[in-house]
Amino acid sequence: MQRRDIGRLALCGLLGVTVNQMLFIKGLTLTTAIHASLLMLCSPILITILAFWILKERVTILKIAGLALGVMGSVWLIAGKQNTSQPKDYLLGDIFIVLNGISYAFYFILVKPLMERYTSLQVVRWVFTFGFIMMLPIGWLQFGNIHWQVFGLKYAGVLAFVILAGTFLAYVLNAYGIRILGPGTTSAYIYIQLVFAVAIAVLFFNEQLTSQKIIAGIMILGGVYLVSMKKRFP
């Protein structure tokens, strides 16, 4: 690691790990999953705007059309899921999710120059190292509140999945995507998670798969496809 990159890596650790994870987890405990999914659309939209502004990525008709199609499909998809009850502090939770998206958007932009000098694993290693150091004082206060007597194998398996698949692999693959495709295109693939969320809800929570959800899913995938075509259609 070069000395000139220490500050940027530390800032990436702060925004991409410490602030991002804490705001998302706290926000998710206060608001609903539907609200969280909808508000996460702020991330790719803001990332694309920042990529146009800061990184001077080229604005193309296909990219704008793809982002618009993905947003419309995502909003329509989530709007079809009704939720009659709202948590007491859902508004505060929504604010946390929005701030989480803003934090992650700036992380995407700041990490781009680092991907040109280091490998994905090197960047993630240092980002997580700085993020862990910054999160340790806050996390240590809550560590003592864990009820270890009920922390069985099931919870250990879930925690391992969150750490390895939901966190480590997600950051590595995102970093690789930023290096190859750029932050704007990589962020657009966040829309796909909404399709998987609906599929899981149907398979495991017995929610009804309607024509509205199918069409919305097609719109989302179509938007991602249009965004990924930028290299072939300037």
Record the tokens describing residue 169, joined without a space. Answer: 């692999």
CA distance 127 to 121: 10
Residue from 144, 232, 224, 165 nearest 190 by CA: 224
Residue from 196, 198, 223 nearest 213 by CA: 198
**Are 38 and 181 spatial neighbours (Cβ–Cβ below 8 Å)?**
no
Burial 211-231 (b: 16+ CB within 10 A, else e): eebeebbebbbebbebbbebe
DSSP per-residue string spanning 34-72: HHHHHHTTHHHHHHHHHHHHTS-PPP-HHHHHHHHHHHH
Question: What are the residue ranges spanned by the domains of the chain?
Answer: 3-228
The pTM for the full model equals 0.67
Which strand (E) or helix (H) includes residue 183?
helix 183-188
Block means of pLDDT (10 residues each) for the chain, 234 residues, are 88 91 86 70 68 73 81 69 60 83 84 84 89 88 80 88 84 79 71 71 69 76 72 42
- In this prediction, residue 59 carries a pLDDT of 73
Q: How wide is the angle at C-alpha 90 spanned by C-alphas 84 and 95, nearest 5°?
A: 135
